[in-house]
Amino acid sequence: MRKYRIVVLPGDGVGKEVIPEAVKVLKAVGEAVDLDFEFIEFPCGGEYYLKTGLEWPEEAWQTCKESDAILFGAVGWVKNGKPVRLPNGDLAGSNVIFSLRFGLDLYANVRPVKLYPGVPSLLTYKDSEHIDFVFVRENTEDIYVPIRGMLSRGEEKELAIDVRVITRKGAERVIRYAFNLCVKRGKGAPLDRKLRVTCVDKSNLLRGCQLFREIYNMVAEEFPQVEKDYMYVDTMAMQMVCFPEKFDVVVSPNMFGDILTDLGAALQGGLGMAPSGNIGDKYAMFEPVHGSSPDIAGQEKANPIAAILAAKMMLEWLFEKRNDQKCKKGAELIEKAVKKVLIEGKIRTFDLCYGPYSNVKPSKTSEVGDVIVEEIKHEV
Ligand code: NAI
Ligand code: MG
């Protein structure tokens, strides 16, 4: 039997609470469908930096490169009310994410926006029938490339520059990824079941976005079965709230996707419900969309479902890469168990205790993981 080597990087804050739940669920899946996982865990992030002066152990990077997949929590820590920073001002821990995203060339950040039944919609007239699309965010360029600077005049900071880079190669591969995903997903938009890839940009103004849209048009020619759709980023913020059912797959440059997918998380019941995959041609890393949440860390309050659904995405990716049916079955088991627990409604963390569930006593992070594990055991 093949053994899957999974690097586990819980990171800071709630990352340390939700990732153990995802690992627990993967272990249950391993037993259920006879999958063999080896979990190799490393500490990382701002708290680790305070202790050691490093953002992660030196051997972690090489181990990631030799692994089958990476499961990541979140980084970013606060001490005495202030974010822990590196001497250059960057958030301590951010180089872990950027080393992985840039260093392993994980160019597609795939973020499903799906409202599960049992999670009350925050929009009065939209429910789980309307909200089911996938956001594909470019993940290696745009304003997050490390071309930036700050100039001071004496003590005073005077000028700051962040350079936004969009390349032909970067745009082309992520747009092609989005079209392929749309065809593979095959279900179309909830509104009309049409296969559709929406290009989100600001091409009425920005040169990088003009290039992005030009390449979108070029790639779209290869997919005549998929409807072309264009949206300026500001309009998109409105449309995601007013007409989420129009969207099937959405593709955008990096920063627009970063911002809009937190709005997407709100459509699916909050950041505790939003998973993501950072996917390249060779490697992939899976994580909840949320950060380290210092406001609720250490209190067993965090919703682990985003992390557990990230583990499900990891199994889907392993299935695609290795053509291992057991991984596919494992992913299906996780989703079925999550759906059942949400519909039953009794076990849920505080963030989901609203609307018809406002009288439910909030569960602890680990209690949610436990019932999902029990469901997985029952399913087989
Ligand atoms: P955040 O995502 O950590 O939290 C935003 C809000 O959502 C908070 O009120 C939090 O309590 C709530 N929330 C998030 N995850 C939740 C969960 N699983 N269950 C229930 N509620 C949840 O974003 P914030 O507060 O802006 O950033 C906190 C730190 O995380 C910062 O240092 C930031 O830089 C870092 N960060 C790291 C990311 C990563 O490692 N990929 C991504 C986003 C932020
Ligand atoms: Mg973000």
What H or E segment, with its residue span, contains residue 208? helix 207-220
* Sequence ranges of the domains in the chain: 1-107+275-380, 121-268
Please name which of 293, 236, 292, 284 lies closest in space to residue 113, comparing C-alpha atoms: 236
C-alpha 80/C-alpha 21 separation (Å) is 29
Query: Cα separation of 16 and 380, whole Å?
Result: 29
Contacts of 369 (CB under 8 A, 6+ apart): 20, 21, 22, 24, 25, 304, 308
**Is there a catalytic annotation at residue 132?**
no
Which of 192, 234, 281, 295 is the catalytic position?
Answer: 234
At the topology level, CATH places domain 121-268 in Isopropylmalate Dehydrogenase (3.40.718)
pLDDT at site 17: 98
Domains 1-107+275-380 and 121-268 share a fold: yes
Q: Which CATH number fits domain 1-107+275-380: 3.40.718.10, 3.40.50.11890, 3.10.20.600, 1.10.287.950?
A: 3.40.718.10
Ligand 1 touching residue 130 (CB < 6 A) = no
pLDDT of residue 23: 98
Does the Cβ of 208 fall within 6 Å of ligand 1? no
Concerning whether 234 is annotated as a catalytic residue, the answer is yes
Q: Which residues pair with 256 in a beta bridge?
A: none
Q: Which residue has the tokens 């739940």?
A: 21
How far apart are alpha carbons 157 and 145 in whole angstroms? 21
Q: What is the pLDDT of residue 284?
A: 98
* Residues of the chain where predicted confidence (pLDDT) is lower than 70: none
- The closest alpha carbon to 185, from 339, 309, 313, 304, belongs to 313
Predicted local confidence at residue 2, as pLDDT? 81
Task: Determine whether 202 is an active site residue.
Answer: yes
Atom 36, ligand 1: residue with shortest CA distance = 291
pTM, entire model = 0.96
Q: Is ligand 1 within 6 A of the CB of residue 272?
A: yes
7-60 pLDDT tens trace: 999 999 999 999 999 999 999 999 999 999 999 999 999 999 999 999 999 999
Coil, strand or helix: which one is 268? coil
In the reported structure, the alpha carbon of residue 291 is separated from the centroid of ligand 1 by a whole-number distance in angstroms of 3
CA-nearest residue, atom 22 of ligand 1: 272
Q: How far does residue 173's CA lie from ligand 2's centre (Å)?
A: 22
Is 230 tagged catalytic?
no
Give the active site residue among 24, 202, 312, 326. Answer: 202
Summary count for the chain: helices (H), strands (E): 11, 14
Atom 23 in ligand 1: which residue has the minimum CA distance? Answer: 291
262 flagged as catalytic: yes
**48, 116, 144, 283: the active-site residue:** 144
Asked whether the beta carbons of 45 and 92 are under 8 A apart, the reply is yes
Name the E strands within the chain. 3-11, 36-41, 69-74, 78-79, 82-83, 108-114, 132-138, 148-153, 156-162, 196-201, 227-232, 249-252, 275-279, 284-288
Distance CA 377, CA 28 (A): 7
For residue 146, the model assigns a pLDDT of 87
Tell me if 73 sits within 8 A of 16, measured CB to CB: yes
